Amino acid sequence: MEDDLKCDDKYLEKEMLRIRKNVFKKSKHGSGFQNAGVMAKWWGNKIKEQCESCAYCKTPIRVIEKLISTGRLKGRRTRGIGMRGPFLELERVDSGTNKYAPENCALICYYCNNDKSNVYSREEYIEFLAPAKNKHFMHLFGSV
């Protein structure tokens, strides 16, 4: 079961394609990521660096995917055919700046991204709220 939760090369390839096609927006990300290919490569490296987990709550993205697919967690539909929840999202570490650049970004789950917003600093969120989020996710996962 645990092997099913690891991100393999096929997952990474699929995720990098999703970034190239759907995530990179020249107007928003262009100053820090020159193009979609650069962002996709950075994204793939970051997924590996973060052990396929949210940088804040440390929950593996495959656990979150499984919780969504079994109805234990709800994602959020976006305009069109997209969905927030089953993918890691780009987070500006310093949200006081509008800079999307490799040195100012991390990959976090939708749930941490939604909770943290610009209300908490990264440090406050990681110290006080992220551990509880992971504990809750793992509790839900244990009952799947």
Rg (CA), the chain: 15
- What range does the domain containing 83 cover? 2-142
Average pLDDT, the chain: 90
Read off the CATH number of the domain in which 17 is found. Answer: 3.30.40
pLDDT on residue 81: 66
Q: How many domains does the chain have?
A: 1
Query: Distance between CA 12 and CA 34 in Å, rounded?
Result: 20
pLDDT tens digit sequence for 119-136: 888 999 999 999 999 999
In this predicted structure, the answer to whether residue 1 has a pLDDT above a threshold of 60 is: no
Amino acid in the structure at residue 126: I
pLDDT tens digit sequence for 92-123: 888 777 789 999 999 999 999 999 888 888 99
